[in-house]
Structure 1
């Protein structure tokens, strides 16, 4: 009954009622207010599947397709498979049963590829029943084979790692096509990512206002605008939205203020050009920009000769400003601008005017005490994630697929709100950040 109830909620996209009905009540009671401060952070979520390498993935995908066909089309499969396949595809795929050595593993994968092609050719034969092509496991088999193999002179060949799709599109398991591989610093996982947004007013309970579930490779900054739009729909937009660097971008700084009157509070990505990191050269801040004339002036007083709009490798709009080769070659400060032996003139890349000014302004603010005091509130969301992980298993999906995993996250958020509101009603103090014994030893009296 619970499974059917969950399926109905997901089918009607009604799972948000679990949380939104609660938020409406909190607003009516005055325990949750718009135009305050909120904060957002994300954490990784493990899918309810095994993490498979590429060889195990194609092996298990073939096995899954055979098992599915054995149920829905047993007589057809008996006529289009081989008895010797039972030994390979009967037990589940395991690294312990695969060859050792790169060349041997590639040959093993190509042998599986040939057998999978034989099965797919039989399925897509004009004489085969049309409905076989619509079996989900067969469709997954076809996609996995396209991603991992190519036909060369009518022979199935294993693709190199450079030839496969990016993680956001690569199917890593036949049992959950929507879970993908991702890496954040030293953490690697296959699954999803959950974003929690909560209120953080000192005199009110800390309540989760929004939950978003995404595929693991989706970046945090891709969700900032979506979170703002959803909070606007709920009439819960904050004045200050406190986030970490992952949610901040020059374009988002401008759009958040322009579209929702939100101050997106978070540090920007550092300028990793050597001139800025070593503090021994002229970074972009040393070049005054004349936006009307579309020119920049270098620290030696020379003006740029080229102003070209472009798109960078993160798909951001930028402007590439170049200086004269003649001016740069004769410049006594050339070593402070470029260390390249190939490029004899300086090129400066900046964002469009509004974004550039917002970025420069934020970088100035980051060094102030006022910014540090506001940003210090962000740390509290990590406690929320920790509470969700330790009390309610937030970091492990109980279901297959993104929609069901999101249902789990919404239910978890609603449960956390119940726990937190009850603690607030009972007057329980909020937990403080734990410090180690060694840190406490050196606390200043």
Structure 2
């Protein structure tokens, strides 16, 4: 909000011209989407929470230069925007533009220090987005199984699962340390898939169960100790392979 008081935003839409074709249809303001991404990281929000904040919070609307009646956009556009942001050193270029404007109005001292690890920012938000996806897939699969076989999950679902998957994903205020949540969600998803494969074979074809299996494989691999591990860029981990007795086909 202080930057909005001194500047008309960190960026202008013209700063993003080379990202988009000239003959495309009118779209959302890329300058606003970039600013939302910054606020999202600073306030440790998931994509869904960031979109809700744009829609409901006056301070967000002020910082973005939006009308109060503006409902913003769907949370999925933030992931699409980051896909563009991650290529060709664009994040570093935007950071340089923002720092130049901030210094020009005296909000940053000429010899001051500022973090320039934009790749760290992008990686942290990207992990949160992926984790929200896995968490939502887990919740949807549990709801599907509860509808189709409500009594079969009694021995599996714990109080902790109720807290993690009893409502839409809320990733909290700790994006810099998501390792525990990533570990727990991966172990939970694998346990559920193995349980369905072994004890509920008639329900393996469920749409949400199949979606969870695919999303699990996309975001985790099984290490040499037979444990699910979060996929990082360049990981060469193996997909989980089923055993005759218990493992799900993935």
Normalised-by-shorter TM-score class: 0.3 to 0.5
Compare relative contact order (CA 8 Å, sep 6+) and give the higher one, 1 or 2.
1
TM-score, length basis structure 1:
0.25
Instruction: Tell me which protein shows more helix as a share of its residues.
Output: 2
The TM-score with structure 2 as length reference comes to: 0.42
Determine which structure has more spread, i.e. the larger CA radius of gyration.
1
